[in-house]
């Protein structure tokens, strides 16, 4: 049995129109329209109508960026009435196919949340790892001031849905217009990561691919705590998108259910979730889309 690969970058759940081209196993040239379901620095999960065989070499053209990249079909994920889902790996990794800068995954250990943001001046897109202060600012104002490598200066960044037809407002905004939030409430305990009492929407995806939107009770660099009427078993490996944007480009992190406790509200259960360090997170499949 082939050993699964360790995760090399975070994955963004987003649908982008793509064009696939190449030569199939019968020697016939083809051009096929499709779309992404999940993208990463080194590959994607895609949906298309054509049957693709493992190890097939193809060209992926992203209509949003107008960039091409060589790719290899890793294998089939599953079939549906919409078509077939495949995992593909980019073999030409120097091409910025998706128009998104993925930071080194090693930096994710200090993140309290993950979000896709866009500079309102130059439209540069980056996957941002949020610290405690940035998470609270983003939750309050839906924007961040951060350094832009392209502008070589601090600029205003906003969440982006990563759509080709998206137009962000380019109004002038000064730092004075965005007041800082009050200091976050913290609990005093001896845990490894200090908890931040911040209520943010999160998307929980269970091992079967079912999804649920919850609201965090508190969050930390090590995980989060939330309530749900749904059953999650202890030690289940799940995926968490925090913060979550409906219809947006959400970034999932691997996590484990570590605590289960009942609440006063009938039918609700409190769950404690611990993120899995990137060194221990394995990529054995592309997670199926929520039902």
Average the pLDDT over 32-55 and give the result. Answer: 91
Architecture of the domain delimited by 201-283: Beta Barrel (2.40)
pLDDT of amino acid 163: 61
Does the pLDDT value for residue 227 go beyond 80? Answer: yes
Average the pLDDT over 170-189 and give the result. Answer: 41
pLDDT of amino acid 182: 47
Does the pLDDT value for residue 179 go beyond 50? Answer: no
Does the pLDDT value for residue 291 go beyond 50? Answer: no
Q: How confident is the model at residue 5 (pLDDT cuts 50, 70, 90)?
A: low
Q: How confident is the model at residue 265 (pLDDT cuts 50, 70, 90)?
A: low
Q: Considering only residues 189 and 86, tell me which one the structure prediction assigns the higher pLDDT.
A: 86
pLDDT of amino acid 44: 93
Q: Considering only residues 161 and 146, tell me which one the structure prediction assigns the higher pLDDT.
A: 146
C-alpha distance across the termini of the chain, in Å:
29
Does the pLDDT value for residue 286 go beyond 70? Answer: no
pLDDT of amino acid 169: 40
Convert the chain into a string of H (helix), E (strand) and C (coil).
CCCCEECCCCEEECCCEEEEEEECCCCCEEEEEEEEEEEECCEEEEEECCCCCCCCEEEEEECCCCEEEEEEEEEEEEEECCEEEEEEEECCCCCCCCCCECCCHHHHHHCCEEEEEEECCCCCEEEEEECHHHHHHHHHHCEEEEEECCCCEEEEEEECCCCCCCCCCCCCCCHHHCCCCCCCCECCCCCCCCCECCCCEEEEECCCCCEEEEEEEEEECCEEEEEECCCCCCCCEEEEECCCCCCCCEEEEEEEEEEEEECCCCCCEEEEEEECCCCCCEECCCCCCCC
Residue spans per domain, the chain: 17-90, 105-177, 201-283
**pTM of this structure:** 0.72
Does the pLDDT value for residue 103 go beyond 70? Answer: yes
Mean pLDDT of the chain: 81
pLDDT of amino acid 248: 75
pLDDT of amino acid 197: 84
pLDDT digits (tens, 9 = 90+) for 62-83: 998 999 999 999 999 888 888 9
% of the chain at pLDDT higher than 90: 32
């Amino acid at each position: 049995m082939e050993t699964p690969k360790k995760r090399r970058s975070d994955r963004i759940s987003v649908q982008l129109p793509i064009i696939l081209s190449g030569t199939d196993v019968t020697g016939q040239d083809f051009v096929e329209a499709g779309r992404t379901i999940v993208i990463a620095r080194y590959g994607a999960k895609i949906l298309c109508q054509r049957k693709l065989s493992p190890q097939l070499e193809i060209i992926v053209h992203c209509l949003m960026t107008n960039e091409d990249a060589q790719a290899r079909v890793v294998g089939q994920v599953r079939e549906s009435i919409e078509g077939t889902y495949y995992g593909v790996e980019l073999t030409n990794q120097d091409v910025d196919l998706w128009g998104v800068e993925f930071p080194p995954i090693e930096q994710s250990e200090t993140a309290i949340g993950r979000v896709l943001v866009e500079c309102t001046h130059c439209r540069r897109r980056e996957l941002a790892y949020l610290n405690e202060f940035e998470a609270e600012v983003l939750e309050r104002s839906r924007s961040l001031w951060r350094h832009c490598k392209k502008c070589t200066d601090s600029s205003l960044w906003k969440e982006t849905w990563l759509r080709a037809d998206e137009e962000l407002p380019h109004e002038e905004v000064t730092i004075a217009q965005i007041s800082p939030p009050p200091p976050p409430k913290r609990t005093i305990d001896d845990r490894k990561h200090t908890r931040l009492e911040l209520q943010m929407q999160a998307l929980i995806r269970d091992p079967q691919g079912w999804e649920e939107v919850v609201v965090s009770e508190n969050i930390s660099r090590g995980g989060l705590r939330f309530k749900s009427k749904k059953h999650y078993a202890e030690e289940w490996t799940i995926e968490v998108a925090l913060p979550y944007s409906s219809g947006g480009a959400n970034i999932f992190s691997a996590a484990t259910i570590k605590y289960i406790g009942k609440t006063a509200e009938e039918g609700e259960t409190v769950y404690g979730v611990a993120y899995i360090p990137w060194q221990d997170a394995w990529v054995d499949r592309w997670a199926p889309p929520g039902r």
